[in-house]
Amino acid sequence: MTSFTPNEMMTIAASRALKNDDVCFVGIGAPSAACNVARLTHAPDITLIYESGTIGTAPDVLPLSIGDGELCDTAVTTVSVPEMFRYWLQGGRISIGFLGAAQLDKFGNINTTVIGDYAHPKTRLPGGGGAPEIATSSREVYITMAQSKRGMVEKIDFYTSFGHGDGGDHRKRLGIDTAGPTLLITDLAIWKPDPETKEFTVVSLHPGATREMVQETCGWTVKFSPALEETPAPSELELATLRNLKVRTDAAHKRGAAAAKRGSKDG
């Protein structure tokens, strides 16, 4: 079997969770790679939507931003940003909102706003962007991030995007009728919320990952499913698809840079 990195495993495991008929609101970074691997393997008809307004996009290389030209070039249609948030997200047409996180707690609440106090932050992060409403208007939310004690914490500093709050029926009590986070895919494991408490529970370890590795890179006491499985290793096709995508992406981003430099000198 070809060797692979934990990050590759994460992306591929995430891609497998997506179905051919999903309508997926794609966050940039790891979610974007996973969604496009899904599209290039088992889910060719998946609808990928980026918050720049591109609907049903099929980029040949991964975009650096949520608004790269490639996304518009290959989209079924491109709409304005107000329309994107009103008709497509708030309108309830998104089956999966796919988010990354800077800080995450065990109930799937996400912080991408500040580390420390909001008024006097230790670190000012970019903020929510589309995430607060992706988290509540999408029918389900998938989260993907590499594990670390800084990232997976007992208590997040700021609720940028609401997951299951304090767990249990907290969403329902706030009048939120969507399912919220139903899947977390890290570089070590697949996690699902406990049906009652909504606490994320490890249901599958990636090949080579151990319970100890998962616990060591997580800031809360990890619960493991009694029926713990092993994530199937990436197939040759999955791995080749992901790597080719990355190669094309790197080449494209560098080509632009080189071209721009040439242009400057000529100019």
Partner 1 sequence: MAKFLPLAQAVAENLRDGDKVAFEGFTHLIPTAAAHEAIRQGFRNLTLIRMTPDLIYDQMIGMGMAQKLVFSYAGNPGVGLLRRVRDAVENGFPNALEIEEHGHAAMANAYEAGAAGLPCAVFRGYRGADLARVNPNIKPITCPFTGEQLAAVPAVRPDVTFIHAQKANRRGDVLVEGIIGIQKEAVLAAKRSVVTVEEVVEDFGGLHPNLTILPRWTISAISVVPGGSHPSYAHGYYARDNAAYLEWDEIAADRDRFSAWMEENVMRAKPEDFAARVEGLRAGASLRSVA
| 147-176 positions binding partner 1, by CB under 8 A | 158-162, 165, 170-171, 174-176
The residue from 8, 51, 70, 199 that is catalytic is 51
Of 32 and 201, nearer to partner 1 (C-beta) is: 32
Q: What is the CB neighbour count within 10 angstroms for residue 85?
A: 18
Integer Cα distance of 234 and 196 in angstroms: 32
- What is the bridge-based pairing of β-strands 140-144 and 181-185? parallel
User: Binding to partner 1 (CB under 8 A): which residues in 69-88?
Assistant: 69-82, 84-87
Integer Cα distance of 61 and 79 in angstroms: 21
Shortest approach of partner 1 to residue 199 CB, angstroms? 17
Residues 113-152 as x/- pattern, contact with partner 1 by CB under 8 A? x----xx-xxxxxxxxxxxxx--xx---------------
Q: Does 251 bind partner 1 (CB under 8 A)?
A: no
Give the number of residues in contact with partner 1, rule: CB under 8 A.
83
Of 87 and 237, nearer to partner 1 (C-beta) is: 87
**137: burial class by Cβ within 10 Å (0-12, 13-18, 19+)?**
buried
Q: Does 47 bind partner 1 (CB under 8 A)?
A: yes
- Residues near 161 by Cβ (< 8 Å), separated by ≥ 6? 99, 109, 110, 112, 128, 131, 132, 134, 135, 136
Shortest approach of partner 1 to residue 220 CB, angstroms? 20
Of 1 and 258, nearer to partner 1 (C-beta) is: 258
User: Binding to partner 1 (CB under 8 A): which residues in 190-249?
Assistant: none
Task: Tell me the two tokens of residue 133.
Answer: 């409403």
Of 1 and 119, nearer to partner 1 (C-beta) is: 119
Integer Cα distance of 242 and 34 in angstroms: 8
Closest residue by Cα to residue 97 from 138, 57, 56, 144: 138
Integer Cα distance of 249 and 88 in angstroms: 28
DSSP SS3 for 109:
coil
Q: Does 96 bind partner 1 (CB under 8 A)?
A: no
199 catalytic? Reply is no
Question: Which of 195, 196, 236, 263 lies at the binding interface for partner 1 (CB under 8 A)?
Answer: 263
Q: What is the CB neighbour count within 10 angstroms for residue 75?
A: 20
Question: Which of 2, 7, 90, 244 lies at the binding interface for partner 1 (CB under 8 A)?
Answer: 90
Of 127 and 207, nearer to partner 1 (C-beta) is: 127
Shortest approach of partner 1 to residue 262 CB, angstroms? 4
Q: Identify the bridge partners of residue 183 per DSSP, sorted by sequence position.
A: 142
**Stretch of 5-13, 190-198, 212-220, 258-266 lying at the interface with partner 1 (CB under 8 A):** 258-266
Q: Are 190 and 183 in contact, with CB atoms under 8 Å apart?
A: yes
Active site members: 51
